[in-house]
């Protein structure tokens, strides 16, 4: 992609590395265990996409546009709940970046759309569905299992910005319904169909 896109993507990548370091530092100060990072699921998904343009489009669509939109909702909900100054400041800093990142994802994918052939557009539709399923499994499913087991939730965690499982589920589905699906349709895909078929594409 021509400039200014590569420069924008590099800046967003650096933001994400800074977020990871910030969260690890804040967690360490609060005696939380060190975080674990696993890029395996993303690499596995991209391994099936041979076309370089499609890999770029898939990353922009799923990890940046859709993923950062959902993250924006989650961080916003966490920031509203927290009262602890250190975590509140960290969440506020990250939230501002997530707002920019999700916008970058949608505009970046839109700029690629005219370059995609009909077959690649169909593949992007399937990627949207697979991405929605992956986001649901990663973000909403653990919280729903917690609720199903009726495990207690310590209110002290909410004060630190950790979302109650019910709030996490609500934030996820609100982000999908209010922003992700309409924006998928706006960029040329079928948002409702992607959501409906999310597990048929797995």
The mean pLDDT of 70-82, rounded to a whole number, is 94
Nearest C-alpha neighbor of 72 from the set 48, 96, 37: 96
> What is this structure's pTM?
0.93
The mean pLDDT of 176-185, rounded to a whole number, is 98
What lies within 8 Å, CB to CB, of 76 at 6+ separation is 95, 171
Cα–Cα distance, 107 to 65 (Å, whole number): 8
Q: In this structure, what token pair is assigned to residue 60?
A: 């922009």
Where in the chain are the domains? 5-196
Task: With cut-offs at 50, 70 and 90, classify the pLDDT of residue 201.
Answer: low
Note the pLDDT tens digit of each residue in 91-104: 999 999 999 999 99
At 161 the pLDDT is 87
Share of the chain above pLDDT 70, in %: 99
Classify 5-196 by CATH class.
mainly alpha
């Amino acid at each position: 992609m021509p400039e200014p896109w590569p420069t924008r993507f590099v800046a967003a990548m650096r933001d994400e590395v800074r977020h990871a370091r910030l969260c690890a530092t804040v967690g360490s100060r609060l005696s939380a265990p060190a975080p674990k990072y696993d890029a395996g699921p993303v690499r596995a998904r991209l391994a099936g996409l041979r076309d370089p343009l499609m890999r770029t489009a898939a990353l922009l669509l799923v990890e940046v546009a859709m993923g950062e939109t959902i993250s924006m909702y989650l961080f916003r909900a966490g920031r509203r709940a927290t009262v602890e100054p250190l975590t509140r400041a960290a969440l506020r800093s990250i939230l501002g970046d997530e707002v920019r990142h999700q916008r970058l994802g949608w505009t970046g994918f839109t700029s690629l759309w005219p370059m995609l052939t009909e077959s690649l557009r169909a593949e992007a539709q399937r990627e949207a569905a697979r991405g929605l399923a992956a986001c649901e499994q990663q973000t909403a499913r653990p919280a729903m299992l917690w609720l199903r087991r009726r495990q207690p939730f310590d209110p002290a965690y909410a004060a630190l910005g950790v979302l109650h499982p019910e709030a996490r589920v609500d934030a996820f589905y609100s982000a999908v319904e209010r922003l992700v699906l309409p924006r998928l349709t706006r960029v040329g895909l079928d948002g409702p169909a992607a959501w409906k078929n999310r597990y048929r594409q797995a």
